[in-house]
Chains A and B, each alone.
Chain A
């Protein structure tokens, strides 16, 4: 490296001195810029970014505020929520626990902690994390019995671990509290039975949901699904039609009725219903897929491919598979 050259070469010395001056300039710039920062101003900017849902910038400024020794339960909680939005669940949990140390009885913090653990559990598919989330969410619900989202998330956590009975217990507790809409929680209890393949009990609760709210369109569709599972096509049909009557702009009943016609090989009726659904939401991947399949079944391959492609571009894996079977690869 130093062939025939001395370490005291003037050029090398000059270069090193220049480099050292450069490094001092950087250090000087760092000290000068940092000394001008006020933690209150940084915190205010962080809160502004947070309110505007610019979570990366909010997290960046909260981190700087924390570096400048700003603290407080709200800071830690907002920072943690920003980190949750950035999918940085581990750091979010850390700062939420710091927020709890500063404010041990805040139900919102318990909820956010449960939410972060729930999202972490979902990404890593860990039952332990779901149950950890439940512990914090139960605390949130105990501290704030009117916090509906806590009950909902507790139910989701238990259902994700296969503990439908526990989920039902919390949904029933929500019903007993009298603070929330009965229809929604009856519907959710119905889902837990559905997940256990107890279709008669599920249907029972979907009916209760309907009786609590006759305009609850999703409950009619769910009830229709249960009738189908119990091989009662006529009642299923009636439920879907009722849903479509109540809310003509809800796409699901048209797809369900269309599917029933398609099963009976009445593809013309099915197609008219799928087209009606697409008038409401032209970008629905399921509607495009079903329409493509219906056209394929009556031999109208051009239209079939057109709608299957639309479905594929909107995220339908089944459409991609179907197109590959036809010999069309979208890659």
Chain B
């Protein structure tokens, strides 16, 4: 499973959000707004986690029911995989969010 040491994942994600905030701050600073680096990066981190969590929850439940329906049709005994599925989707979405925001910030 991707990052079975979950705390390591969250630390690395915070590091990436801090780097991302550096690019966001370059534009925010044009309007004379001076938020602290720690506060700004924490806000970005929080928003990415919340958004990824909600999206991952929705996708995980949808995929769970699709999987159960498929198992029912194929008459296979379903396995309990929801926590692992949710975690995998969550980590992928978090990285995707960082990448998309990063591209948006560096594109002119």
Q: Which residues of A contact B (CB under 8 A)?
A: 1-2, 5, 9, 11-12, 14-15, 18-19, 22-23, 25-26, 29-30, 33-34, 37, 42, 45, 56, 59-61, 63-64, 83, 86-91
**A33:B4 contact, CB within 8 angstroms:** no
A11-B4, A15-B3, A26-B99 given; A59·B108 CB < 8 A? no
| Closest chain A residue to B2, Cβ basis | A15
Q: Which residues of B contact A60 (CB under 8 A)?
A: 27, 30, 108
Known contacts: A22-B99, A33-B107. The answer to whether A86 contacts B32 by CB under 8 A is yes
Partner of B108, one of A37, A86, A87: A37
Q: Which of B1, B26, B95 contacts A63 (CB 8 A)?
A: B26
1/0 per residue, CB under 8 A from A, across B1-32: the answer is 11111011100100010000000001101111
A67, closest chain B residue (CB): B26
Assembled-state Cα–Cα distance A11/B8 (Å) = 12
Q: Are B32 and A87 in contact (CB under 8 A)?
A: yes
Please list 5 pairs of residues, one from A and one from B, whose beta carbons are closer than 8 Å in the complex, sorted by A's number.
A15-B2, A22-B95, A29-B103, A86-B31, A87-B32
Residue of A nearest to B95 (CB): A22
Whole-angstrom distance from the CB of B43 to the nearest CB of chain A?
A: 20
Chain A residues, CB < 8 A from B26: 63
CB neighbours (8 Å) of A91 from chain B are: 29-30, 32
Decide: B30 and A56 in contact? CB cutoff 8 A.
Answer: yes
**With contacts A34-B106, A37-B108 known, is A19 near B12, CB below 8 A?**
yes
What is the bound-complex CA distance between A14 and B31, given in angstroms? 42
The yes or no answer to B102 lying at the interface (CB within 8 A) is yes
Q: Please tell me if the beta carbons of A26 and B102 are within 8 angstroms of each other in the complex.
A: yes
Please give the distance in Å from A40's CB to the nearest CB on chain B: 13
The answer to whether B7 and A1 touch across the interface, beta carbons within 8 angstroms, is: yes
Closest 4 CB pairs of A and B: A88-B32, A15-B3, A59-B30, A86-B31
